[in-house]
Chain A
Amino acid sequence: MITYEWLYVLAGAAFAIWAALSARDRRWGNAAFWALLAVSFFFGSHLSDLANGVLVLALVAIAGLGGLKRSDPPTTSPQEREALAERLGNKLFLPALIVPLTAVAGTLLYNFTPLGETGLFEARRETLILFGIGVLAALAATCLWLRPPLLGPAEEGRRLIDSIGWAAILPQMLAALGAVFALAGVGDIIGGVARGLIPEGSVFLTVVVFAVGMAGFTMIMGNAFAAFPVMAAAIGIPLLIAEDGGRPAVIGAVGMLAGFCGTLLTPMAANFNIVPAALLELKDQNAVIRQQVGTAVPLWVCNVLIIYVGGFLLWR
């Protein structure tokens, strides 16, 4: 049976190669960071919780001390790329499409044909495992078609992962924060307070409070990912799902999107709202946010309705 452990070995290999290339490039901070992540992927399941915890602290120490830098591995020049794009045309999009096609078609086939009975994949893990298979297929197809130098795929991957830097593990770290919040009973505390504020049995108002919380915390923190574990632990899971019996997939997915509406409204989300105003040399640094208000607010209202209708009315 193919399990997540197979994917972890694949990801571990990718991070190990990036660590080695960073070391060759004498970027020691990057090398150490990606090497620790490779260790986590290769051996995490066999390490003690304490060892994994120390590994997390080490990763954060490197990132916090500014140890990660962008890199510039050898690649093609903008002029060469222009010429290649001209020659290769829209076929360039095709290899990237292999990945979602493999994953979606594979998942459907696996779930709705007798294939599923083979037990080839770990239960509920088939989509992400098929994503991994799709990546390998796309990589093979691209290499066969374009014949890059041997280290090409690894170096191009390193160029991108180094431009993402420590942010690459932020979502994973936020999910871990959510688990610690759950352990410490943060959800119970806020849930208790919220229960006192929301009139008994009003599912709709609870949905509204959840969506207000998602958008509000996102606006304060500038990041819906950071707001999500907090609001899920506080209202989404204890009240909407456990108490009111709502549909988990809708509350999770659309709750996050209600948070994204908050991202459109806040100068704290500088990358999306303030940086473009500077890039476009606009006089008002909040000009982009001003143009987004009229979309974000009605869309947030629609998200509340989608959660209420899809998560409750159509569910029971």
Chain B
Amino acid sequence: MNYWPLAGIAIVVLGFALRFNPLLVVVSAALATGVLAGLDLLSVVEALGKAFNDNRYISVTWIILPVIGLLERYGLQQRARAVIAGMRGATMGRLLVAYLAFRQLASALGMKDIGGHPQAVRPLVAPMAEAAAVKTHGDLPEEDRDRIKAMAAATDNVGLFFGEDIFFAIASILLIQGVFEAAGYPLTPLELSIWAIPTAIVAFAIHSWRVLAFDRRLGRAGQ
């Protein structure tokens, strides 16, 4: 058996590790894989062109940007921040659970840019979580404060990753559809996104439990 086409995978891994432009890495890997499998360069370029063309629907999702951009022009991000800021008054654990739910729901409805580290975590979620923890547990050492802020960032990631795939018109769902369709298994975006729901629920349960346990641990350490 000819194992050389696997070099394409090595190119992807190395290229990403060395921080080359990902588009450049992907196309180099495609060309190398095809040539090493014994195709001539021209037919690999043709195959790549055909596959790119067949998968155009993945990039169709960007037509939503004028809507989101327009709403941002009129204060969508600021309004989202006000909603998050309104979550005050709770303990650190409950605050982060509420933010997790908000982030998952918004992403599941296609608003994955509501939230995020520069827009929401740094200015709002992290300082609010820190303040709530100090209110319940009293003054905290530097390491604990860092762990609280890190947990706020982690909560944002978990909420985004395990909410966004419930929205069907998102790149990852359409990428799955494209790869499977090319292999002869046609699927619809909706049947894929429905199967993101069980994991979303489990992610909410596990991460909420962890955040609340973390809050309790901080309390014990303070006594």
Contacts and interface: CB of A to CB of B under 8 A. Distances in A.
Given A183-B47, A287-B150, A93 B79 contact: yes
Interface in A178-216: 178-187, 189-190, 192
Contacts of A287: 146-147, 149-150
A99 B60 contact: no
A100 B110 contact: yes
Interface residues of B, number: 121
B83 to A, nearest CB: 7
Interface residues of A, number: 148
A103 interface: yes
Given A186-B5, A221-B13, A295 B74 contact: no
Interface of A: 4, 7-8, 10-11, 14, 37, 40-41, 44-45, 47-57, 59-60, 63-64, 66, 75-76, 78, 81-86, 88-90, 92-93, 95-97, 99-100, 103-104, 107, 124, 127-128, 131-132, 135, 138-139, 142-143, 146, 148, 152-161, 164, 166-187, 189-190, 192, 217, 220-226, 228-230, 232-233, 237, 241, 248-250, 252-257, 260, 263-264, 268, 272-273, 275-277, 279-280, 282-284, 287-288, 290-292, 294-295, 298-299, 302-303, 306, 310
Interface of B: 1-3, 5-6, 8-9, 12-13, 16-17, 20-24, 26-27, 29-30, 33-34, 36-37, 39, 42, 44-79, 82-83, 109-111, 117-118, 121-122, 126, 142, 146-147, 149-154, 156-158, 161-162, 165, 167-169, 171-180, 182-183, 185-196, 198-199, 202-203, 206-207, 210
28 contacts: A4-B57, A57-B45, A66-B21, A85-B79, A88-B75, A88-B79, A96-B76, A97-B109, A124-B186, A135-B67, A139-B67, A142-B71, A148-B74, A153-B67, A176-B55, A184-B39, A186-B5, A225-B172, A248-B187, A249-B187, A256-B176, A279-B117, A279-B118, A287-B150, A288-B157, A291-B150, A292-B154, A295-B206
